[in-house]
Structure 1
Amino acid sequence: MRKLLALGAAALAAQIASAAVPVQGYSIKATYPHDPQAFTQGLFFKDGYLWESTGQYGASSVRKVDLKTGKVLQKRDLPEKVFGEGIAPHGDSIVGITWMNQAGYVMDQGSFDIKGTFNYMGEGWGLTSDGERLYMSDGTPEIRVLDPRTFAEQRRIKVTADGQPLLQINELEWVDGQIYANVWQTDRIARIDPASGNVLGWIDLSGLAATARAGKDADNVLNGIAYDARSHRLFVTGKRWPKLFEIELRPKRR
């Protein structure tokens, strides 16, 4: 599926570039180490730590990471036949999804023991939580809203930018009432209104991959958003990036 979507990357870039949706820039407030082997799929900040999921068959894992040093403090490897995707917190658990297995899991935050599993149709890409509901992306312009207790689908958010469906919605993060979403294979984050599905703004992170010295692999793209709601800190990284950044958004521009 992602190989097919990659063919439309140029069209997607053209859609973003021509959109009237306002664009924000960024400045780097702090830089932290990040595991350059981590194929980042999901990321969130909780209890003073980063929690990260990684992908690739035979290399997928869930990790607890020290922000300042980048040291992996705790890790659970997923089965070799599983391609890990997004994760999100819920209570004392971590909920995770997989790419093609049509299965998710619930992991104890403390022990990393698997507490249960659940199923869904289609692919799994990104996952986040507003504290009451889970939001799941699958690469299409629709974000699924799930009950975190039963994992039943409650509704879908149809995401549009200037009235056009937004494809390749990937890693998600809940930030002050909005859904921030990486758009796969671009340097943009979309700020999405969860009620209407409208893209309220773009965050243009052009140049950040070069600053991170992300390497030449085509898959080493921007992916990973975490928000410290208490201190209002926004963190971003990418797949196999050796750096993670705390950024500050600049005023909107056209």
Structure 2
Amino acid sequence: MTILAVVAVVGACGAAAEDPAPGPASAERLRVEVVGELPHDPQAFTQGLEFSGDTLYEGTGLVGRSSLRAGPAGAEPTRQVALPEPLFGEGITVVDDTVWQLTWQNGVAIERDARTLAERRRVGYSGEGWGICHQPGRDRLVMSDGTSTLTFRDPRTFAETGSVTVADAGQRIEALNELECVGDDVYANVWQTDEIVRIDSRTGAVTARIDASGLLEPGEEEGADVLNGIAAYPGTDQFLITGKLWPKMFRVNLVPVS
């Protein structure tokens, strides 16, 4: 979420979530295997990361520094727009010719033109906005608010359509942050950790816990903030991951822990 928050967030926006699913007895244990590195703007407080074709979209946060950027991965953005104060940008997702951009505590989602990034309208919601992704096969958005709840929304109206509680073997997983949808799976950064969890969005069960620690060198960690940002590479099983104020992005495979 944000370095400004110092307490755990409680409660979820919208309708009450279902009880945690029992899930498997033990989630699969995976780790990241780096296959390539790309430069990343060390001034970007990354809140959302997502590919649409060859274009990488990135949403950034902090009041007065929030933005939406688009362009080739690892290169200077070809398009960029700033969010006016007092908006604090959060997660983003692309739906056809639209980009949805959340705000943290401002209670509005911004609908933008995916080509120009121009704002089309703002839609209100209750609670906080953290991460968001799109499931085309289920025609819905999936949104996190810093708790163990994932909220489902209509991709056109942003209206809430349901929710699910995320748990690993019955134990709720809190602080779900940036999201990436891959089929029925949702990958979520767990705020203030080096862990990513893979969630079955049909049940809320955590099916894998992914160790993404040790990516930055000791000298690179100075000035960097937490891991946040995961984007599936189109046409592959690989992911691009980064963090807030990180100088690099990493193209990775997810492999079993030995």
Structure number with greater CO (CA < 8 Å, separation at least 6) is: 2
Shift of 1:21: 2.4
Shift of 1:212: 8.5
Match of 1:47 in 2: 53
Match of 2:210 among 203, 216, 222: 203
Runs of 5+ consecutive residues of structure 1 not aligned to the other structure: 7-18
Greater CA deviation, 22-31 or 54-63? 22-31
Q: Is the 8 A contact 2:68 2:81 kept in 1?
A: yes
Distance 1:241 1:24 in 2: 22
Distance 1:75 1:202 in 2: 33
Match of 1:27 in 2: 33
Q: RMSD in angstroms over aligned alpha carbons?
A: 1.8
Runs of 5+ consecutive residues of structure 2 not aligned to the other structure: 10-24
Shift of 1:113: 1.1
Match of 1:92 among 68, 84, 97: 97
Match of 1:137 among 127, 139, 144: 144
Q: Is the 8 A contact 1:212 1:241 kept in 2?
A: no
Are residue 179 (structure 1) and residue 186 (structure 2) matched? yes
Are residue 5 (structure 1) and residue 5 (structure 2) matched? no
How many residue pairs end up in the alignment? 238
TM-score (norm 1): 0.89
TM-score (norm 2): 0.88
* Superposition map of 1:121-200 within 5 A: 121-131=126-136, 132-200=139-207
Q: Is the 8 A contact 2:89 2:102 kept in 1?
A: yes
Q: Is the 8 A contact 2:184 2:202 kept in 1?
A: no
Distance verdict in 2 for CA 1:42–1:118, change over 3 Å = same
Paired amino acid for 2:208: G
Q: Is the 8 A contact 2:35 2:251 kept in 1?
A: yes
Identity of aligned residues (%): 40
Distance 2:188 2:78 in 1: 27
- Match of 1:45, SS state, is strand
